[in-house]
Amino acid sequence: MKITQSQILKLERLKRSNLVNTISGIKPVNLIGTVSGDGVTNLAVFNSVIHIGANPPLLGFIIRPYKEVRRDTYENIMETGYYTINNVNEKIVKQAHYTSAKFDKDVSEFTTCNLTEEYIQNFIPPFVKESHIKIGMKFVKQIPIDLNETSLIIGAIEFAEIADQSVDERGIIDHAINKTVGVAGLNTYYSIEKIAEYPYARKEELPEF
Amino acid sequence: MKITQSQILKLERLKRSNLVNTISGIKPVNLIGTVSGDGVTNLAVFNSVIHIGANPPLLGFIIRPYKEVRRDTYENIMETGYYTINNVNEKIVKQAHYTSAKFDKDVSEFTTCNLTEEYIQNFIPPFVKESHIKIGMKFVKQIPIDLNETSLIIGAIEFAEIADQSVDERGIIDHAINKTVGVAGLNTYYSIEKIAEYPYARKEELPEF
């Protein structure tokens, strides 16, 4: 099919959202853990975690307009300055998905979605015990995207816990070992299988295509 | 393994890059097609294409610091105002990877990496004929990230061509049908397989976990 911008704009809201959310390919699935000043923990699934840089180690994610609905994740990060990013694997994909339901503010998605809070040393927000990659994040900067009132939230990796057998001597995490899942759009989840690893590309060392 | 920020900062450069680039999970793989004012086409692989919003339909991607190396993609977008995003599938994953080699400015990655230029109507930059999802993009805004001199480049979808059999009546693109690939870090590619589709999550309709 071919579709133009004006046709996209005329689509029914959910269909437009589905199309534009699935068009760029497979995305990471991460659970962001936070806690409010009142001590209520929160867990929310995000498909927009993105690498910003390695030195310093920075990750970003996109937060939707605050005015539309309550944004506990955003509020809690602003309140405490810290959050956790927990990679989602096949065993917890269903629980992860349902953290997107609009639960009341005083209940924790850890409880309603049957995931286990884990606290590592004195880091304030909770990690997801069932996750194989747990990242402790410190909020660094909010970059507003005035085109549609979203924001890019950038944080620095304070520390990370990664399942031992999944990191090799080069620092590469094997997501097949971790049974990491991907998502397209908002509701279709995919398992992954390693198919190729290529060296750093040099023009003098091109393979046969 | 547990690793702290100060330990990450002390890692050898490539190992640090590998770790931070693989830590957030599986990422999309897209080829960005551009053309210079002189008419030299360019194709470069990106793992940072991200959904910014559906109304208007906006996608972003991260561009690395300009000063480090030549950035043909960025220069060409600034020069012409347009680019294409072409989703990578299993048949072209090797070619896609090798577009990251530093070829001379006057040669096209379409030639060196054996991919086929496709022109759709009068859209200026080339699409990748072998891709199943081809998106014509108009540059909208560059948002500098001063923390590490990267930028978020945002564009609007002008039109898209998507393999017919892969879009359902809800607007959801099936990436298993398209044999879309994902990447972790910079060199490990994964095939995908659909494992679950869940409805819009409502707190009144929670499943058994």
CB contact (8 A) between residue B93 and residue A195: yes
Question: Where do the H-state alpha helices sit in chain B?
Answer: 5-10, 13-22, 72-80, 93-98, 109-112
Structure confidence at residue A126 (pLDDT)? 98
Structure confidence at residue B82 (pLDDT)? 98
Pick A114's closest partner by Cβ from B11, B173, B209.
Answer: B209
Work out the average pLDDT over A164-178.
96
* B6 near A CB under 8 A: no
Distance from CA of B33 to the nearest CA of A (A): 14
* A173 near B CB under 8 A: yes
* A187 near B CB under 8 A: yes
pLDDT band at residue B44, thresholds of 50, 70 and 90? Answer: very high
| The dihedral sign for the CA sequence B43, B48, B54, B56 | negative
Structure confidence at residue A67 (pLDDT)? 62
CB contact (8 A) between residue A50 and residue B52: no
What are A89-147's pLDDT values in tens digits?
Answer: 999 999 999 999 999 989 999 999 999 999 999 999 999 999 999 999 999 999 999 99
Work out the average pLDDT over B123-146.
97
Query: What is the distance in angstroms between the CA of the first residue and the CA of the last residue of chain B?
Result: 29
Pick A18's closest partner by Cβ from B93, B161, B172.
Answer: B172
d(CA B136, CA A124): 44
Structure confidence at residue A69 (pLDDT)? 66
Smallest Cα–Cα separation from A173: which of A118, A121, A134, A130?
A134
What are A182-194's pLDDT values in tens digits?
Answer: 999 999 999 999 9
> Nearest residue of A to residue B111 by CA position?
A209
State ipTM.
Answer: 0.96
Q: What percent of chain B has pLDDT over 90?
A: 95
DSSP letter assigned to residue A129: T
pLDDT band at residue B66, thresholds of 50, 70 and 90? Answer: low
Work out the average pLDDT over B143-157.
96
d(CA B45, CA B30): 6
What are B151-182's pLDDT values in tens digits?
Answer: 999 999 999 999 999 999 999 999 999 999 99
Contacts of B17 in chain A (CB under 8 A): 54, 171
Answer yes or no: is pLDDT of A66 > 70.
Answer: no
What are B72-98's pLDDT values in tens digits?
Answer: 999 999 999 999 999 999 999 999 999
Query: What is the distance in angstroms between the CA of the first residue and the CA of the last residue of chain A?
Result: 29
